[in-house]
């Protein structure tokens, strides 16, 4: 009793050094005495001590540690910590399912298991739990759509292993303590495989928590342990990374055979694999760049997995990414909103990524995503919101939106590209430049070449496209349209200088003219040379068909003088009839898979 006659409450904190070997084998005796020291009561507390731990590979060395103190948190950077999950969107059961594995809830063989992260439940104590206690694993209800958990102890008892937690299985599962302890050693472990099902997105920051609770009377929590995973992001690869394979289409009746032949020579010079998509596969769609963007995802200690992002455009090549690219260790992802209108800016000629850059003291070791938009106007076309949200949510390549709606097609690859370069930042930004083109044409005229024809032998809309240098210089409408485009390009130039930390020495202007295309926006007047394919030091550049002076194209000579001192090789590809007249060029009609970054995304510092 207290001095005022009330009851004195006492709280005792008890720590147990070792687990129990049987129920109620631990006891604590409490002795109660009065003020004079006389014993007035004795109480005995009997206890059963269990060791229960939910464990993951928190230090990213490929081993599931025991009770790592950082297992329930994530820290970016080279001294960071936190377990990582791969979105399991390849198809190791490709011939049977032809769909990413995150569409099902089972393990499709040992190779599928390799794409999953390991997690363990470790216990020590008596052979059984008290009758009124249970172990339960659970996640938030929303998170069951974002991950799948398999109990690998089931691998001996069933031929098909299915989720114990996942979209179909629900967000909680009972874990058998007795089964873990069946060996009679006083300790047990159950191994789990965890797969990611969804990338970070607008409503999901990429982190997932998994909980293990010891419950009394099925509902009262006695103990809880928690681990955290972060989903590996989808990562784009810039032109400065080494190419692995190139893609292009062959059209019906070989109508683009000149392009394919020239393109093949560039790919062979680069020494990489060439994939030619035949007419029955491309179904009349030649715009390979617009359909897909090739990136990757990566787990620590594992080979990075290529992942194709399929654009919403869905034309003739619609079935190509899932039908031909998706397979073992080649993932697939797409974003599409049926309530939003698909426009040209949703094609992936409008999606690029810079090389690594440093801006105002902040380093972007994996570069920054670039996408075209309606800026700086308040109306016009933009890339579909679900695609933009997806790109922003990946975090490791923070996007920059450029102004591309001034173009009829509206793609940023119509006015810019990056090439690797010795020295400096290791790359150069190439920009299409009407100002540079007019300077070159004036110089050629001043040298007495005003009557030399440009685009000799070429036609446009059934009429001769030939014009002399003087004719081009005297075309006031063409000049006005081109210089308006120069203003739009200059706006983007300033944005990229600011957002990518570039200066004028990092930028090279390639000669180019633009014209208005039936009032719908601008398009290249002759083959748009920045719209090139970059395969290491080998460049596949749209052939401009410029004025022939001393046996050489003066525009090609100018471009060589700008790029070859950087250690690059210029190969000019004839795309006039098969791409240029259809408002596209070499880059639009091709695609490249590249090696991943040496830098690991989890080492990013924010």
Residue-wise over 165-196: b if at least 16 C-beta within 10 A, else e? bbbebebebebbbeebbeeeebebbbbbbbbb
> Considering its fold, how many domains does the chain have in total?
3
Rounded to 5, what percent of the chain is helix, strand, coil? 25, 30, 45
- Is residue 65 in a domain? yes
**Minimal CA–CA distance to 592: which of 370, 306, 398?**
306
Give the structural domain span for 476.
235-599
pLDDT above 70: residue 547: yes
The alpha carbon dihedral of 284, 287, 291, 293 has a sign of positive
What confidence tens digit (pLDDT) does each residue in 394-411 have?
Answer: 999 999 999 999 999 999
> Facing residues of 353 across strands?
369
pLDDT tens for residues 142-191? Answer: 999 999 999 998 766 556 789 999 999 999 999 999 888 887 888 899 99
The DSSP output letter for 2 is -
Q: Are 263 and 540 in contact (CB under 8 A)?
A: yes
Residues 120 and 72 in one domain: yes
149 Rama class: left (phi>0) / alpha (psi -120 to 50) / beta: beta
Q: Which of 178, 209, 231 is the last residue of a domain?
A: 231
Instruction: Answer yes or no: do 139 and 66 share one domain.
Output: yes
Tell whether the model's pLDDT for residue 470 goes beyond 60.
yes
pLDDT computed for residue 518 by the predictor? 82
The DSSP symbol for 323 reads: I
Q: What is the pLDDT of residues 109-118, one digit of tens each?
A: 888 899 999 9
Is the Cβ–Cβ distance between 129 and 150 less than 8 Å? Answer: no
| 222 and 179 inside one domain | yes
Half-sphere exposure of 339 (CA within 13 A, CB side): 2
**Single residue among 173, 206, 231 that ends a domain in this structure:** 231
The answer on 425 and 309 residing in a single domain is: yes
Options 437, 553, 570, 588, the catalytic residue: 588
* Pair 283, 214 in one domain: no
How far apart are the C-alpha atoms of 501 and 495, rounded to whole Å? 10
Give pLDDT, residue 3: 55
Residues above pLDDT 70, as percent of the chain: 96
Does 345 score more than 90 pLDDT?
yes
Torsion of CA 116, 118, 119, 122, to 10 degrees: 150
Q: Tokens 């590979």 — which residue?
A: 57
- 484-489 contacts, C-beta under 8 A, 24 or more apart: 484/522, 485/406, 485/434, 485/514, 485/522, 486/433, 486/434, 486/435, 488/403, 488/406, 488/415, 488/522, 489/415, 489/431, 489/432, 489/433, 489/434
Alpha helices, H only, 426-475: 434-444, 469-474
Q: Say if residue 476 is in the same domain as residue 423.
A: yes
Helix runs in 236-384, H state only: 257-270, 279-282, 288-291, 320
Which DSSP symbol is given to 136?
Answer: E
pLDDT at residue 137, rounded to an integer? 97
Backbone angles phi, psi at 24, to 5 degrees: 60, 35
Last residue of a domain, one of 201, 231, 261: 231
Nearest to 472 by CA among 529, 517, 508, 511: 511
Tell me which range, 28-32, 183-187, 363-367, is most confidently predicted by mean pLDDT.
363-367
Q: What is the pLDDT of residue 7?
A: 65
Contacting residues for 439 by C-beta, under 8 A, at least 6 apart: 511
Residue 163 lies in a domain: yes
CA dihedral 494, 499, 502, 508 (to 10 degrees): -50
Is there a domain that residue 606 lies in? Answer: no
Outline where 9-99 has alpha helix (H). 94-97
CA pair distance 343, 371, nearest whole angstrom: 14
Task: Identify the CATH number of the domain in which residue 458 sits.
Answer: 3.75.10.10
User: What is the CB-side half-sphere exposure of residue 410 using CA atoms within 13 A?
Assistant: 18
| Mean pLDDT taken over the chain | 94
Mean pLDDT of the region 19-45:
90
Residue 82, domain CATH: 2.60.40.1700
Asked whether residue 580 is domain-assigned, the answer is yes
Is residue 55 in a domain? Answer: yes
d(CA 529, CA 523): 13
Statement to judge: residues 25 and 95 lie in one domain: no
* Catalytic site includes residue 437: no
Which segment of 28-37, 98-107, 214-223, 337-346 scores lowest on mean pLDDT? 98-107
Clarify whether residues 321 and 202 are in a common domain.
no
The two beta strands, 514-516 and 590-594, are unpaired
Question: Are 396 and 468 members of one domain?
Answer: yes
pLDDT for res 158: 53
Maximum C-alpha span of the chain: 122
CA 403 from centroid of its chain's CA atoms:
22
Burial of 494 (0-12, 13-18, 19+ CB in 10 A): exposed
Residues 108, 151, single domain; the answer is yes
- Looking at the structure, do residues 184 and 246 belong to the same domain, yes or no? no
Confidence check: pLDDT of 295 > 80: yes
Q: Is residue 60, in this structure, part of any structural domain at all?
A: yes
Task: Report which of residues 559 and 92 the model is more confident about.
Answer: 559
Whether residue 121 is found in the same domain as residue 240: no
The residue-averaged pLDDT of 518-534 equals: 94
Q: Is the pLDDT of residue 285 over 70?
A: yes
- The C-alpha R_g of the chain, in whole angstroms, comes to 32
pLDDT of residue 329: 94
Cis peptide before 483 (omega within 30 of 0): no
Mean pLDDT, rounded, for 529-533: 98
Portion of the chain with pLDDT greater than 90, in percent:
85
Find the mean pLDDT for residues 564-583.
Answer: 97
User: Looking at the domain assignment, is residue 604 inside a domain?
Assistant: no
């Amino acid at each position: 009793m207290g001095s005022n006659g009330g009851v004195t409450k006492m709280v005792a904190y008890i720590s147990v050094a070792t687990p129990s070997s049987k129920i109620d084998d631990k006891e604590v005796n409490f002795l109660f005495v009065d003020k004079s020291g006389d014993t007035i009561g004795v109480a005995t507390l009997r206890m059963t001590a269990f060791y229960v731990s939910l464990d993951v590979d928190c230090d990213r060395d490929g081993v599931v540690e025991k009770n790592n103190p950082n297992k329930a948190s994530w820290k970016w950077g080279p001294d960071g910590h936190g377990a990582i999950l791969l979105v399991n969107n390849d198809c190791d059961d490709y011939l049977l399912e032809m769909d990413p594995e995150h569409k099902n809830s089972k393990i499709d063989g040992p190779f599928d298991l390799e794409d999953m992260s390991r997690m363990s439940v470790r216990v020590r104590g008596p052979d059984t739990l008290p009758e009124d206690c249970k172990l339960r694993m659970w996640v938030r209800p929303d998170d069951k759509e974002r991950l799948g958990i398999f109990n690998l102890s089931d691998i001996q008892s069933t031929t098909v292993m299915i989720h114990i937690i996942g979209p179909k299985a629900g967000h909680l599962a009972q874990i058998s303590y007795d089964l873990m302890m069946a060996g009679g050693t006083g300790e047990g472990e159950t191994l789990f495989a965890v797969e990611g099902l969804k990338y970070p997105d607008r409503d999901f920051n990429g982190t997932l928590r998994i909980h293990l609770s010891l419950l009394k009377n099925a509902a009262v929590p006695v103990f809880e342990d928690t681990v955290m995973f972060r989903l590996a992001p989808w990562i784009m690869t810039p032109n400065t990374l080494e190419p692995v394979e190139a893609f292009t289409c062959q059209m019906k009746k070989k109508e683009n055979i000149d392009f394919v032949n020239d393109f093949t020579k560039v790919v062979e010079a680069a020494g990489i694999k060439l994939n030619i998509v035949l007419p029955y596969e491309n179904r009349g769609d030649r715009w390979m760049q617009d359909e897909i963007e090739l990136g990757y995802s990566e787990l620590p200690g594992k080979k990075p997995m290529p992942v194709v992002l399929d654009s919403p455009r869905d034309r003739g090549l619609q079935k190509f990414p899932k039908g031909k690219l998706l397979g073992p260790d080649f993932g697939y992802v797409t974003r599409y909103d049926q309530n939003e209108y698909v426009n040209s800016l949703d094609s992936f000629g409008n999606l690029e990524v810079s090389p690594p850059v440093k801006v105002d003291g902040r380093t972007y070791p994996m570069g920054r995503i670039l996408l075209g938009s309606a800026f700086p106007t308040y109306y016009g076309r933009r890339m579909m919101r679900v695609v933009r949200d997806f790109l922003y949510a990946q975090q490791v390549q923070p996007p920059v939106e450029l102004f591309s709606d001034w173009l009829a097609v509206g793609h940023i690859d119509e006015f810019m590209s990056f090439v690797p370069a010795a020295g400096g930042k290791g790359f150069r930004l190439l920009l299409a430049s009407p100002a540079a083109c007019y300077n070159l044409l004036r110089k050629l005229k001043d040298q007495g070449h005003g009557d030399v024809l440009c685009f000799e032998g070429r036609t446009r809309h059934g009429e001769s496209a030939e014009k002399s240098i003087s004719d081009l210089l005297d075309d006031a409408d063409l000049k006005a349209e081109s210089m308006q485009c120069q203003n739009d390009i200059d706006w983007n130039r300033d944005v990229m200088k600011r957002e990518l930390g570039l200066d004028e020495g990092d930028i090279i202007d390639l000669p180019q003219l633009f014209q208005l295309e039936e009032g719908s926006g601008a398009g290249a007047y002759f083959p748009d040379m920045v719209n090139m394919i970059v395969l290491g030091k080998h460049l596949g550049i749209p052939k401009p068909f410029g004025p022939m002076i001393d046996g050489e194209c003066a525009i090609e000579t100018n471009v060589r003088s700008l790029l070859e001192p950087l250690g690059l090789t210029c190969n000019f590809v004839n795309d006039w009839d098969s791409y240029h007249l259809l408002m596209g060029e070499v880059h639009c009609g091709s695609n490249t898979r590249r090696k991943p970054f040496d830098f690991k995304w989890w080492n990013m510092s924010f």
